[in-house]
Amino acid sequence: MRQDVLYATVSDRHATSVGDFERIYQDWFEEVCRWIRALGGPDADRDDIAQEVFMVVRRRLCAFDGANLAGWLYQITKRQVRDFRRRTWFSHIFTRRRLDEPDTLPHADQNPATALEHKESQRVLYGILDKLRESRRSTFVLFEIEGLSGEEIAQIQGIPINTVWTRLYHARKDFFALAAKQHRAFNRHESRSESTKTIRGKVG
């Protein structure tokens, strides 16, 4: 092959991959963010994890065979979330992260009590979700919270549709069992608090 033809071919490939990457980024960024949430990625770090996902996509795009883009992106996202959670776990051994991240602070037009109640509800929700098996949790969140169909989940996770329904069935069962346990614990705590107040009132 002539040298100038070789250079032109390499240049064309580079231009094509860059163009493909830009289209993928524009078309799939929001979807990747939804997957990150479903896979247990922290809300405050969602954009950072998404950027790491697309850095991998840019590097590996030339080797991608073009089959099942959604599934390919999902697997990259899954690995990046897993790696991020591992890094975060190690860093938490030595440092304690602030509870209030900038993007979780109440908006100026939001009632503080409402904001606190919403934040507490989210904390409880994600606390329960974190206790689910990873495969069940991601299916549960994608279906129940993000609104994907069973067929869409099967495609991006690369599993049979029957497996989606099986995971969803067990995830729902586990979720409501954990939620009931959480509710009972809350009621016991409230009862103890009321008893303490009553005793103090009598003593006073």
* pLDDT tens-digit map of 143-185: 887 778 899 899 989 999 999 999 999 999 998 888 888 878 7
Q: Are residues 86 and 145 in the same domain?
A: no
Q: Among 70, 93, 63, which residue's Cα sits nearest to residue 154? A: 70
Q: Are residues 168 and 186 in the same domain?
A: yes
Quote the CA–CA distance of 29 and 201 in Å, as a whole number.
57
Greater confidence (50 vs 41) lies with 50
Among the three residues 69, 100, 131, which one is the final residue of a domain in this structure? 100
Question: Which pLDDT belongs to residue 189?
Answer: 63
Query: What CATH number has the domain bearing residue 50?
Result: 1.10.1740.10
DSSP 8-state assignment for residue 143: I
Q: Among 88, 89, 72, which residue's Cα sits nearest to residue 35? A: 72
Query: What CATH number has the domain bearing residue 184?
Result: 1.10.10.10
Quote the CA–CA distance of 96 and 65 in Å, as a whole number.
43
Question: 47 Cβ partners below 8 Å, 6+ apart?
Answer: 33
CB atoms within 10 A of CB 152: 16
Domain count, the chain: 2
Question: Which pLDDT belongs to residue 5?
Answer: 34
Which amino acid does the sequence have at 150? G
Q: Are residues 11 and 44 in the same domain?
A: yes
Greater confidence (125 vs 68) lies with 68
Quote the CA–CA distance of 186 and 169 in Å, as a whole number.
26
Residue with tokens 């390499």: 10
* pLDDT tens-digit map of 134-151: 899 989 888 887 778 899
* pLDDT tens-digit map of 88-102: 655 554 444 433 343
Domain range for residue 114?
A: 106-204
Contact 179, 128 (CB under 8 A): yes
Quote the CA–CA distance of 18 and 198 in Å, as a whole number.
69
Helix (H, G, I), strand (E, B) or coil at 85: helix
What confidence category does residue 10 fall into, taking pLDDT thresholds of 50, 70 and 90? very low
Q: What is the mean pLDDT of the chain?
A: 75
Q: What share of the chain in percent tops pLDDT 90? A: 32
* pLDDT tens-digit map of 182-202: 878 767 766 665 555 555 555
Min mean pLDDT across 27-36, 67-76, 83-92, 143-152 is at 83-92
Q: Are residues 28 and 78 in the same domain?
A: yes
